[in-house]
Amino acid sequence: MISQIGPTALAFGFTLGLRHALDADHIAAVSTLVSESRNIWRSSLVGTWWGLGHTAALLAAGIAVIGLKLTIPPRFAHSMEIAVAVMLVSLGTRAVLTALGRWKIHRHAHAHDGSAHVHFHVHRPGAHVHEHRHILAIGARPFLVGLVHGLAGSAGLLILALSTISSALAGFAFIVVFGLGSTAGMLLMSSLIGLPFAWTVRRFHWVLQGLQLAVGCGSILFGCVYGLTR
């Protein structure tokens, strides 16, 4: 299989996959998911599951285009790009609500020298609750996000290019290597993005919530711009 496509082409596919993982819409979506992680291990799992979902979508599209000789309609590609925009807004909204939900505003009434006063206090959330979640439970949403990304944008253009390859095995080899590159790239990026969240969770809780709020707002804004420019 390698001899059919060549080591240079495989190396190019892996490098292209690494670069593909750095697309702005990918980073925006994965950042919202990583913002819910509290250690580097979970952050790296987010990137890995995203890569698996992304690769699964590419393989499915590859079977349709290379194996079954089907054509991906432009309307479908456009619909998937709109789906990415909606997904970015949804993920951002979830991150914002999660960040704001960790702060509580209480109304207190006090009486001083015969006069009643009402005070509003913002209380910082309590100690972090340790959650033990199964690896599959952690990976469900990142896998779905990667699946949507794999069917949209430049990934779809990649499948169209592969349809011109004479050997089906060579085409699938390129897809697999491209998927491995994108998975490796996102694993690295999700781990790096997770560093500030893991570092602040036990030290500066208010910074953690601020970061999550910023990531959520950024994803919402990017999703709106992304959708309007498709």
**pLDDT tens-digit map of 76-119:** 888 999 999 999 999 999 999 988 875 554 455 555 555 655 55
Closest CA to 60 of 147, 186, 154: 147
Distance set, CA 96 to CA 105, 188, 204 (Å): 16, 24, 18
**To the nearest whole percent, how much of the chain has pLDDT over 90?**
44
pLDDT at position 21 over 70 = yes
Q: Which of 33-37, 54-58, 148-152, 203-207 has the lowest mean pLDDT?
A: 203-207
Give me the half-sphere count of Cα atoms (radius 13 Å) on the Cβ side of residue 14. Answer: 8
44-75 pLDDT per residue, tens: 999 999 999 999 998 888 888 888 887 778 88
Higher-pLDDT residue of 4 and 203 is 203
Q: Is the CB of residue 197 less than 8 Å from the CB of residue 208? A: yes
For 34, 163, 201, 206, the CA distances from 38, given in Å and listed in that order, are 8, 42, 7, 14
Residue 130 pLDDT > 50: no
DSSP state of 129: P
Rounded CA gap, 84 and 75, in Å? 14
Asked if 16 contacts 155 with a C-beta cutoff of 8 angstroms, the reply is no
- C-alpha dihedral sign at 159, 161, 163, 168: negative
pTM: 0.82
Nearest Cα neighbor of 159 from 142, 144, 179 is: 179
Rounded CA-CA distance 127/201 in Å is 10
d(C-alpha 8, C-alpha 11), whole Å: 5
